[in-house]
Amino acid sequence: MASRPRGPPVQNPTPAPRPSPVILKGRTVTLEPLNASHADRLFPHASGPENAWIWDYMHHEPATTVDQLRSYLNDFANPSSGCCLWAALVRTKGQQENQDQDQDQYDVVGYLGYLNIVPKHRTIEIGNVLFTPAIQRTTAATEAVYLLLRHAFRDLGYRRVEWKCDNLNEASKRAARRFGFSFESVFRQHMIIKGCNRDTAWFAVLDCEWERLEKAFEGWLSPENFDDLGRQKRKLEEFRG
């Protein structure tokens, strides 16, 4: 009997390394391994009735106290959580660009990181993204995602980076497409979150697609792509076009 078809051989089938807590520096944002000490600076941006909506699609209820937020971050930082998260730091208003500035001159405006890490298959997910209004729709938000994509593909050698979100989360789906993730499917009744059903939309970027996407990110993030008021001249999608 003839053998049945199989996929093409993988050039490097050895397991990828697990991500470790390293600092990732960009031009507009620094990603620092997340820990409970970030709660004090993050809380003002993520708390209060006016910010409750940013927790709508998170697994946790809104943090109403610094201690509650500190508990969340402490759980994320625990190695048993299976994830690897970073705090997103941006310079406080009025500070000049200076890589040697003191940490206290940075705001913690959100967090994001890796989860569903499967070194054996070289697959990893960017998720648990909590971007407060202080970073939403900014260059720093795009650069934060770029830094994690670049780290996963270039430094760690993963073959596939995933992006998953509640199928009702239109903002997250738009962001995934803008970043260059391809929509793959919807997993129906995938989870129960805060007592409610979640159908999950799946997106992914493959290693064979990364070179083109990396050039697009770098072109968009270049200072030459922004005017004196910080407004983009060309959209990220145009650099991929």
Q: In this structure, is residue 8 part of a structural domain?
A: no
Residues 155-185 pLDDT 10s: 999 999 999 999 999 999 999 999 999 999 9
Q: What is the pLDDT of residue 102?
A: 54
| CATH number, residue 167 | 3.40.630.30
Q: How many domains does the chain have?
A: 1
- ∠ CA 62-200-110, nearest 5°, is 35
CB neighbour list of residue 154: distance below 8 Å, 6 or more residues apart: 210, 214
Q: In this structure, is residue 18 part of a structural domain?
A: no
Which residues are registered as beta bridge partners of 25? Answer: 30
**Mean residue pLDDT across the chain:** 94
Residues 1-39 pLDDT 10s: 778 999 999 988 999 999 999 999 999 999 999 999 999
Q: In this structure, is residue 13 part of a structural domain?
A: no
Q: In this structure, is residue 61 part of a structural domain?
A: yes
Q: In this structure, is residue 16 part of a structural domain?
A: no
Residue 205 structural domain: 24-240
Whether residue 120 contacts residue 137, with contact meaning beta carbons closer than 8 Å, is answered with: no
Q: In this structure, is residue 148 part of a structural domain?
A: yes
Q: In this structure, is residue 9 part of a structural domain?
A: no
Q: In this structure, is residue 205 part of a structural domain?
A: yes
Query: pTM for the whole thing?
Result: 0.93
Instruction: List, as one string, the DSSP characters of 54-68.
Output: GGTTSSSPPP-SHHH
